[in-house]
């Protein structure tokens, strides 16, 4: 007679692998719990799941309360893997291609090079700075290739440090560049926009442990970037000599400003390995994330505009996820990353220390705090109106 415990083991392994894959691909912890519990019920093995940013605990009441604890690395973002994994809820394993989707290395490298100039196109800068931003993008990409494995913990700091030294050298040659804006543009890829968005989403749904952990990780990343830029600029000034720094100026024509949005949206999709059709379906929220807070306030200010923009982005992502049988995070990503003010906090810290107007935005640090609150309120409002399918 077969041992029932042994016969259940393949199902347990499958459920654990499902939850671990969701976590690894960047799914918010509270959604990892819901999706995994739903998948376990489908497998006839009801479970209780507790997911945190660096661990998952599985408990199976019908298998003598067996507990499986997994310690995991902090999640990276892989949207195609996330879509493929969630697709297992709707289709059997035999119907799903197990071949992972990845963009070629040259496309990822090109995306890394294009983000810094695209960011400057969006916020406004000098044309010379936009040209140098592409070269700095190559520098940052090189840092990512060299600092791998256990050394990845230092990639943000080293990239920011080298960026500061190089930008100080460029400035010493007399080129008209806004130094601090160029530094931030070069490392804006590392600004944890999605981590902040996931943290706010977890906090909005009372997952306080995961929310505060993700927010803490995000703040540590921002500190590494800021300290790296600060030290790099001072080292560069010592090496190359002190020069007069250009304050905020904008030579970007309107058509280039508009063109920067699809460029940065496409680059974000490639870096986070989103499928082409998902990038296309998510592009409307990128437009909303960029210009929504300015035009949807209807005379009530940008805080109301941010709240309404977040509501629309979340409703659209949830509706699209229901149609595509996936999760709204895939379609919300592009808009939320552009909307979430991760770079705004970095700009605030630099502006406070260096006493230079990097962007023409008064009280930028306080505005970032209000923007966080408006985004949280928008997500709560949207999910109360139209909850995800998995929660119905």
**What local confidence, expressed as pLDDT, does residue 225 receive?**
86
- Taking CA atoms, 281 is separated from 22, 130, 265, 313, 323, in Å, by 21, 28, 12, 12, 11
Q: How confident is the model at residue 387 (pLDDT cuts 50, 70, 90)?
A: low
Tell me what the mean pLDDT of segment 333-339 comes to. Answer: 74
Q: How confident is the model at residue 389 (pLDDT cuts 50, 70, 90)?
A: low
Cβ neighbours of 313 (radius 10 Å) = 30
- Taking CA atoms, 122 is separated from 198, 237, 253, 383, in Å, by 24, 28, 11, 30
**What local confidence, expressed as pLDDT, does residue 94 receive?**
43
User: Residue 298 carries which DSSP code?
Assistant: T
End-to-end CA distance of the chain: 40
Nearest to residue 348, comparing CAs of 339, 335, 361? 361
Please state whether the predicted TM-score (pTM) of the whole model is above 0.85.
no
Does position 21 have pLDDT exceeding 80, yes or no?
A: yes
Radius of gyration of the chain (CA): 22
User: Who has greater pLDDT, 96 or 145?
Assistant: 145
Round to whole Å and give the CA distance between 367 and 369.
Answer: 5
User: Who has greater pLDDT, 121 or 364?
Assistant: 121
**Please, how many CA atoms are within 13 Å of residue 281, restricted to the half-sphere of its CB?**
19
Tell me what the mean pLDDT of segment 242-254 comes to. Answer: 69
Round to whole Å and give the CA distance between 281 and 315.
Answer: 14
Nearest to residue 36, comparing CAs of 57, 54, 53? 57
Q: How confident is the model at residue 28 (pLDDT cuts 50, 70, 90)?
A: confident
User: Residue 46 carries which DSSP code?
Assistant: -
Does position 271 have pLDDT exceeding 80, yes or no?
A: yes
**What local confidence, expressed as pLDDT, does residue 161 receive?**
92
Alpha helix locations (H) across 67-207?
79-86, 105-123, 127-146, 155-172, 179-187, 193-204
Category of 363 on φ-ψ map: left (φ > 0), alpha (ψ -120 to 50) or beta = left
Q: How confident is the model at residue 162 (pLDDT cuts 50, 70, 90)?
A: very high
Does position 348 have pLDDT exceeding 60, yes or no?
A: no
């Amino acid at each position: 007679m077969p041992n029932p415990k042994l016969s259940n083991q393949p199902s347990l392994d499958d459920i654990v692998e499902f939850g671990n894959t969701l976590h690894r691909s960047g799914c918010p912890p509270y959604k990892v719990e819901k999706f995994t519990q739903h998948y376990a019920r489908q497998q006839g093995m009801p479970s209780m799941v507790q997911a945190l940013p660096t661990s998952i605990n599985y408990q199976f009441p019908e298998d003598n309360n067996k507990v499986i604890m997994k310690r995991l690395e902090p999640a990276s973002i892989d949207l195609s893997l996330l879509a493929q994994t969630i697709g297992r809820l709707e289709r059997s394993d035999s119907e799903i291609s197990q071949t992972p989707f990845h963009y070629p290395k040259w496309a990822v490298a090109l995306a890394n090079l294009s983000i810094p100039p695209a960011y400057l196109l969006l916020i406004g800068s000098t044309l010379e700075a936009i040209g140098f931003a592409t070269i700095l993008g190559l520098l940052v990409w090189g840092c990512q290739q060299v600092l791998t494995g256990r050394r990845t913990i230092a990639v943000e700091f080293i990239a920011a440090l080298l960026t500061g030294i190089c930008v100080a050298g460029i400035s010493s040659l007399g080129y008209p560049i806004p130094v601090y804006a160029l530094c931030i543009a070069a490392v804006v890829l590392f600004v944890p926009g999605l981590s902040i968005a996931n943290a706010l989403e977890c906090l909005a749904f009372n997952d306080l442990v995961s929310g505060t952990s993700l927010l803490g990780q995000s703040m540590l990343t921002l500190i590494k970037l800021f300290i790296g830029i600060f030290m790099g600029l001072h080292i560069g000034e010592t090496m190359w000599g002190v020069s007069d720094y250009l304050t905020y100026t904008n030579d970007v024509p309107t058509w280039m400003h508009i063109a920067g949005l699809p460029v940065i949206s496409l680059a974000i999709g490639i870096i986070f390995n989103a499928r082409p059709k998902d990038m296309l379906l998510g592009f409307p929220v990128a437009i909303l994330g960029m210009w929504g807070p300015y035009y949807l306030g209807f005379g009530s200010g940008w805080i109301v505009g941010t709240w309404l923009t977040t509501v629309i982005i979340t409703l659209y992502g949830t509706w699209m996820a229901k149609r595509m049988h996936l999760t709204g995070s895939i379609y919300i990503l592009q808009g939320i990353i552009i909307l979430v003010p991760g770079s705004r906090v970095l700009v605030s810290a630099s502006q406070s220390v260096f006493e230079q107007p990097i962007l023409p935005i008064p009280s930028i640090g306080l505005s970032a705090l209000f923007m966080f609150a408006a985004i949280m309120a928008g997500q709560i409002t949207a999910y109360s109106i139209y909850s995800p399918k998995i929660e119905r």
